[in-house]
């Protein structure tokens, strides 16, 4: 509630940044589950974000499906792709999965660029609006409220899972797959479910993103952002939801703060800061918080 209410007090610009920040937090939470809790290094998260965004726009405006059907189709699409990637790669060692998903991410961009009429090619698609839901037009701060809802819902789902036996199974798989198997956990199935679930969540976030600027185009979903997502979760503290939130907030807002101060060299400073963060606190910033609390 607080998150949503805050939206009404901010100007347009801040609202926009806030919205995007919330979306990144959503993504980071999901990614944290996949990477931090389940131990799978994947670079495809952002591709699913893009898949969700593009699919809803295409289903709504190219195929003219009604909104609820479009949403379901979009989710179905993400789930399908996720399964297609997850099932064969369940057998792969951690870093091979990373590679395969990196390749997937890039392939996605290639398809987007070459997609011609359907994906709008290199220019993307613009010129659309969120259709009315039950006769309501969601704009501005109201839309921010929707996003806030998304974040909270994602967090709730993931936190629940985390505490359940599934979460424990994931951790077991992350720390020691052989031991987990010995204890009766179906390693492959756990991995596949975790991957598919978080990818679908990313897809949903993507659908919401499509209407933030009412534009989708290939550069938005590039691999640079996939790396950024990884950095966010690491710097914040992998494995902890709070870590994902802190990391996402910090790394997303950092360029905005740095820009006025350092101007030209903002990306360099950013890189240095990230390296320093990893060097000084490999457990992530949330580790610092832990230490303070323990005192």
Sole binder of another protein in the list 1, 2, 64, 95 (CB under 8 A)? 95
- Binding-site member from 2, 136, 279, 292 for another protein (CB under 8 A): 279
Binding residue count for another protein, defined by CB under 8 A? 60
* The two structure tokens encoding residue 260: 């006025």
d(CA 16, CA 213) in angstroms, rounded, equals 9
**Smaller CB separation from another protein, 15 or 32:** 15
Site membership for another protein, residue 265 (CB under 8 A): yes
**Contact set for another protein, span 99-138 (CB under 8 A):** 99-100, 102-104, 106-107, 110-111, 113-114, 121-124, 126-127
Beta carbons of 198 and 33 less than 8 angstroms apart = yes
Q: Any contact of residue 270 with another protein (CB under 8 A)? A: yes
The tokens describing 228, both together, are 């950024």
Segment 188 to 207, residues that bind another protein, using CB under 8 A: none
Cα separation, 77 vs 59, whole angstroms? 11
Interface map 28-67 toward another protein (x if CB under 8 A): -------------x--------------------------
Pick the binder of another protein from 1, 2, 11, 64 (CB under 8 A).
Answer: 11
Segment contacting another protein by CB under 8 A, of 63-71, 93-101, 157-165, 182-190: 93-101
* Residue of the chain from 8, 63, 80, 88 that contacts another protein (CB under 8 A): 88
Range 135-154, binding another protein (CB under 8 A): none
CA 276, 282, 285, 290 torsion: positive or negative? negative
Pick from 16, 67, 159, 189 the residue near another protein by CB under 8 A. Answer: 16
Q: Binding residues for another protein, per CB under 8 A?
A: 11-17, 20, 41, 88-89, 92-93, 95-96, 99-100, 102-104, 106-107, 110-111, 113-114, 121-124, 126-127, 212-215, 217-220, 227, 230-231, 234, 255, 259, 263-268, 270-272, 274-275, 278-279, 282
């Amino acid at each position: 509630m607080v998150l949503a209410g805050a939206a009404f007090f901010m100007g347009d610009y801040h609202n926009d940044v806030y919205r995007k920040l919330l979306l990144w937090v959503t993504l980071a939470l999901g990614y944290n589950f996949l990477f931090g809790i389940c131990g799978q290094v994947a670079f495809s998260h952002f591709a699913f974000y893009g898949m969700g965004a593009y699919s809803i726009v295409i289903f709504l405006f190219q195929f003219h499906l009604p909104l609820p059907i479009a949403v379901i189709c979009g989710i179905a699409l993400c789930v399908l792709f996720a399964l297609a990637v997850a099932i064969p790669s369940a057998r792969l060692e951690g870093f091979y999965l990373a590679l395969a998903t990196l390749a997937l991410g890039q392939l996605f961009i290639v398809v987007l660029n070459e997609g011609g009429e359907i994906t709008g090619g290199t220019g993307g698609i613009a010129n659309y609006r969120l259709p009315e839901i039950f006769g309501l037009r969601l704009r501005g701060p109201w839309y921010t409220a929707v996003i806030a809802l998304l974040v909270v819902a994602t967090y709730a789902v993931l936190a629940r899972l985390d505490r359940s036996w599934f979460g424990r199974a994931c951790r077991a798989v992350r720390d020691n797959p052989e031991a987990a198997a010995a204890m009766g956990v179906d390693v492959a199935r756990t991995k596949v479910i975790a991957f598919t679930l978080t990818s679908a969540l990313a897809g949903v976030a993507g659908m919401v993103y499509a209407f933030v600027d009412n534009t989708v185009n290939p550069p938005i979903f590039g691999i640079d952002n996939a790396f950024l997502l990884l950095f966010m979760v690491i710097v914040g503290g992998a494995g902890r939801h709070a870590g994902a939130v802190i990391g996402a907030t910090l790394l997303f807002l950092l360029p905005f703060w740095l820009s006025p101060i350092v101007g030209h060299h903002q990306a360099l400073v950013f890189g240095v800061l990230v390296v320093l963060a990893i060097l000084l606190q490999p457990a992530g910033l949330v580790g610092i918080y832990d230490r303070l609390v323990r005192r």
